[in-house]
């Protein structure tokens, strides 16, 4: 029992677990549609684009926390740009994502280098790998609002979004606004990634989107069950990863992702 109660006696661990559970469930729900559309690479691309937005905020002399609000519109614009290129039919999804995320990340490096030398030093490591244990109450409120809004959007568009995911051509003929739904999903993914960056960082946040959805996809036979399974996987994996990182005294974000990865391997073996 001490293994369970000792971390829960620490306020910072409670905040981290609540935030991790919300982010895990949120990313997993979005990840179901991302994975089903064969766009797993886009999570990584938008995460790197978020780095460009955060760096732009730092160049404008705002704090690291406030830079997230600069990264939000920046990443949404990048996601819509990727969507526009995809719908033009000139490039594949992986190519378009690769181009945008490379340029965005390069801009981030440039913006960091352009900061005047008298500015405070920036902890790049915390941006890249996250700091879930440093989550504050304001961060919890922001994540909670985004999670609630995302859940309402997904519930409201569930049927049409699922239709457009599995058969976009027939959905378009049936009057479903496929293009609008595509842009909405990309923008929603961008918002979720930017909000989640502080937990596991830019490098690992795409794993939060892909791994739970991929794991649930191995076991579930319907989109609804896949979504529920992915959300449970994201929440449980985040919680177990935080418990393990606390007792092993290792990096929390990496331990969460490794826990999710272990769940994927178990599901893969069970499926075979």
State the sign of the Cα–Cα–Cα–Cα dihedral 155, 217, 192, 110: negative
Whole-model pTM: value is 0.87
Helix or strand holding residue 175 (H, E): none
Contact (CB, 8 A) for 82 and 45: yes
Q: Cα angle at 249 between 246 and 252, to 5 degrees?
A: 60
What is the b/e burial string over 147-167, where b = at least 16 CB atoms within 10 angstroms of the residue's CB?
beebeebbeebeebbbbbbee
Number of H helices, E strands in the chain: 12, 0
Distance of CA 106 to the CA centre of its chain: 20
Q: Which two tokens stand for residue 272?
A: 């075979």
Q: Which two tokens stand for residue 218?
A: 């191995």
218, 220, 226, 228 alpha-carbon torsion, rounded to 10°: -120
Per-position DSSP letters for 76-142, written without gaps between them: HHHHHHHHHHHHHTSS-HHHHHHHHHHHHHHHHHHHHHHS-TTSPP--HHHHHH--GGG--HHHHHH
Contact (CB, 8 A) for 237 and 210: no
Determine whether 220 is exposed, middle or buried from the number of CB atoms within 10 Å of its CB (0-12, 13-18, 19+). middle
- Output the tens digit of pLDDT for each of the chain's 272 residues: 677 778 888 888 888 899 889 988 989 999 999 888 877 778 878 888 888 888 888 888 887 777 788 888 998 998 888 888 877 766 666 777 778 878 888 998 898 888 888 777 777 777 777 778 888 888 888 888 888 888 899 889 888 988 888 888 888 888 888 889 889 999 999 998 888 887 777 877 888 899 999 999 988 888 889 999 999 999 999 999 999 988 888 888 889 999 999 999 999 888 76
CATH architecture under which domain 2-117+126-271 falls: Orthogonal Bundle (1.10)
Nearest to 150 by CA among 31, 242, 17, 16: 31
Instruction: Provide the pLDDT for residue 90.
Output: 66
Q: Which two tokens stand for residue 131?
A: 């700091």
Cβ neighbours of residue 111 closer than 8 Å, sequence gap 6 or more: 52, 55, 56, 58, 59
Instruction: Provide the pLDDT for residue 39.
Output: 79
Instruction: Provide the pLDDT for residue 259.
Output: 93
Domain layout of the chain by residue ranges: 2-117+126-271
């Amino acid at each position: 029992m001490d293994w369970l109660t000792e971390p829960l006696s620490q306020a910072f661990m409670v905040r981290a677990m609540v935030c991790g559970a919300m982010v895990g469930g949120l990313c997993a729900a979005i990840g179901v549609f991302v994975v089903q559309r064969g766009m797993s690479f886009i999570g990584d691309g938008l995460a790197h684009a978020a780095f460009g937005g955060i760096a732009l905020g730092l160049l404008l002399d705002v704090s690291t926390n406030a830079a997230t609000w600069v990264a939000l519109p920046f990443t949404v614009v990048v996601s819509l740009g990727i969507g526009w290129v995809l719908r033009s039919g000139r490039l594949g999804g992986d190519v378009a994502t690769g181009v945008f995320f490379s340029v965005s990340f390069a801009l981030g490096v440039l913006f960091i280098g352009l900061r005047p030398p008298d500015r405070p030093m920036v902890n790049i490591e915390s941006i890249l790998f996250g700091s879930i244990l440093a989550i504050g109450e304001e961060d919890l409120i922001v994540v909670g609002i985004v999670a609630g809004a995302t859940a309402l959007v997904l519930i409201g568009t569930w049927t049409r979004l699922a239709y457009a995911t599995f058969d976009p051509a027939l959905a378009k003929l049936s009057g479903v606004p496929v293009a609008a739904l595509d842009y909405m999903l990309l923008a929603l993914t961008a918002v979720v990634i930017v909000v989640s960056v502080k937990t596991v960082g830019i490098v690992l946040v795409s794993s939060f989107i892909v791994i739970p959805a991929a794991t649930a996809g191995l076991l579930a036979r319907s989109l609804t069950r896949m979504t529920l399974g992915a959300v449970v996987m994201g929440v449980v994996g985040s919680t177990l990863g935080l418990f393990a990182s606390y007792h092993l005294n290792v990096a929390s974000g990496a331990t969460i992702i490794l826990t999710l990865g272990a769940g994927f391997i178990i599901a893969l073996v069970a499926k075979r």
